[in-house]
């Protein structure tokens, strides 16, 4: 038994729900009608979309026009805004303008505007309005040449001030010296006849006494003399400088204390000679200085440099390093040779007959007893030791 099947051919339906056509012509006519319906529907949709797009564009242009109008209105309102406060340019005082204040904000009454203006006026009275600062006048810049000249002038002035303050204007560098006992150095300035007084600066001294340093008749102790006498008294305290009988150490003490004791002065060169000997020997003994002070009349008597012209222009050494002197012993010869290099011309040394013949650069010799070394400056040309 064979199974049945649907009929084949053009009249047969393609699938369930489709129309059944009696011929191919009916089928073609049906399809053309469907296509026409679809084309019509598409045209309608396109027309609707175009219309809606045109309407939206019109709405945008209208919104832009309204925005421009609002901007113009706002700008005009700002241009005509009322300024409620003004300041006087001369005095800086603030004045409140009440006219038009109510129109600043919509809805503000004139009474409220008046109250606000009163508060603003009260605040303005408490506020200090300062005038604008005045610009400082411009300074002309100096030329390079002017600046160089100014700098050179300042440097010259500074150098002159340093040179002036370093050494007193009235000091001379070729006169008496204070001897440093410990090191054998001598550094002192001295001046001529000026008002009494003293100056000390940077280990240098300048004496201002009226009497010459080689005189023992003055009424004032020169600062150099006092300073050197004080150094010698230090040596006395140390046991390095001793006297004899009668003792002449008190004459040095008077000067160290600044005392002018009549007939007890000491020539500055004598003090320098004693100080010089202390730089060469550990201990020194002196037996005579100013015999007028002790009342001694010996040897040459009143014509002796120990006695004449106020006395104190000579010194006798009797001990060096604890050994007695003869004027010809090694210690005596060493002291004489060393002193010959520093004493002024025509200074005098004794004990010529107590030693072999010697030649000197500055000393002249005289006879004297052979129990000491005599040094005097009665005929000397300078007022201090050489190199001082």
How many CB atoms are located within 10 Å of the residue 223 CB?
22
Of 322, 348, 324, whose CA–CA distance to 336 is shortest? 348
Task: Examine residue 110 and state whether it is found in any structural domain, yes or no.
Answer: no
Highest mean pLDDT among 112-121, 218-227, 300-309, 314-323: 314-323
Number of domains in the chain: 1
Over range 185-197, report the average pLDDT: 36
Q: How far is CA 261 from the centre of its chain?
A: 51
User: Residue 257 above 90 pLDDT?
Assistant: yes
Lowest-pLDDT range of 24-28, 101-105, 263-267: 101-105
Task: Examine residue 112 and state whether it is found in any structural domain, yes or no.
Answer: no
CA separation (Å) from 114 to 17, 97, 99, 241? 90, 10, 9, 110
Q: How confident is the model at residue 131 (pLDDT cuts 50, 70, 90)?
A: low
Task: Examine residue 125 and state whether it is found in any structural domain, yes or no.
Answer: no
Over range 248-271, report the average pLDDT: 95
Lowest-pLDDT range of 22-26, 74-78, 237-241, 312-316: 74-78
Task: Examine residue 226 and state whether it is found in any structural domain, yes or no.
Answer: yes
Lowest-pLDDT range of 19-33, 240-254, 364-378: 19-33
Over range 31-35, report the average pLDDT: 79
Q: Cis omega before residue 378 (within 30°)?
A: no
Cα–Cα dist 312/95, whole Å: 101
Task: Examine residue 353 and state whether it is found in any structural domain, yes or no.
Answer: yes
pLDDT (0 to 100) of residue 340: 95
pLDDT digits (tens, 9 = 90+) for 37-50: 777 777 777 777 67
Angle at 295 between CA 294 and CA 301, to 5 degrees: 120
Domain around 296: 189-376
User: Residue 357 above 80 pLDDT?
Assistant: yes
Task: Examine residue 267 and state whether it is found in any structural domain, yes or no.
Answer: yes
Q: Are 323 and 335 in contact (CB under 8 A)?
A: no
Does an H or E element contain 151, and which?
helix 144-166
Q: How confident is the model at residue 245 (pLDDT cuts 50, 70, 90)?
A: very high
Q: b/e per residue, 345-361, with b = 16+ CB within 10 A?
A: eebbbbbbebbeeeeee
Task: Examine residue 206 and state whether it is found in any structural domain, yes or no.
Answer: yes
User: Residue 16 above 50 pLDDT?
Assistant: no
Task: Examine residue 117 and state whether it is found in any structural domain, yes or no.
Answer: no
Mean pLDDT, all residues of the chain: 75
Over range 149-172, report the average pLDDT: 65
């Amino acid at each position: 038994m064979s199974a049945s099947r649907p009929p084949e051919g053009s009249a047969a339906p393609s699938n369930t729900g489709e129309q059944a056509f009696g011929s191919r012509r009916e089928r073609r006519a049906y399809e053309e009608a469907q296509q026409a319906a679809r084309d019509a529907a598409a045209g309608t949709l396109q027309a609707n979309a175009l219309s809606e797009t045109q309407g939206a564009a019109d709405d945008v242009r209208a919104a832009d026009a309204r925005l421009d109008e609002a901007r113009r209105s706002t700008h005009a309102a700002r241009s005509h805004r009322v300024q409620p406060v003004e300041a006087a340019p001369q005095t800086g005082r603030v004045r409140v303008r009440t006219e038009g204040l109510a129109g600043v904000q919509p809805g503000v009454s004139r009474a409220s505007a008046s109250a606000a203006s009163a508060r603003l006026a009260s605040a303005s009275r408490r506020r200090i309005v300062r005038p604008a600062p005045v610009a400082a006048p411009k300074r002309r810049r100096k030329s390079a040449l002017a600046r160089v000249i100014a700098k050179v002038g300042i440097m010259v002035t500074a150098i002159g001030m340093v040179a002036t303050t370093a050494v007193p204007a009235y000091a001379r560098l070729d006169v008496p010296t204070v001897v440093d006992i410990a090191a054998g150095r001598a550094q002192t300035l001295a001046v001529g006849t000026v008002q009494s007084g003293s100056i000390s600066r940077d280990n240098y001294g300048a004496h201002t006494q009226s009497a010459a340093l080689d005189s023992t008749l003055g009424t004032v102790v020169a600062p150099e003399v006092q300073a050197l006498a004080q150094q010698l008294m230090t040596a006395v305290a140390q046991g390095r400088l001793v006297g004899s009988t009668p003792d002449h150490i008190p004459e040095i003490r008077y000067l160290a204390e600044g005392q002018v004791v009549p007939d007890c002065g000491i020539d500055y060169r004598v003090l320098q000679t004693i100080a010089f000997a202390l730089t060469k020997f550990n201990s020194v003994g002196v037996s005579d200085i100013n015999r007028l002070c002790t009342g001694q009349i010996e040897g040459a008597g009143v014509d002796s440099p120990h006695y004449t012209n106020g006395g104190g222009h000579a010194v006798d050494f009797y001990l060096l390093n604890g050994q007695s002197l003869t004027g010809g012993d090694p210690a005596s010869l060493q002291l004489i040779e060393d002193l010959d290099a520093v004493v002024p011309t025509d200074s005098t040394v004794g004990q010529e007959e107590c030693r072999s013949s010697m030649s000197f650069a500055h000393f002249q010799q005289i006879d004297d007893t052979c129990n000491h070394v005599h040094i005097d400056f009665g005929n000397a040309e300078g007022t201090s030791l050489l190199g001082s």
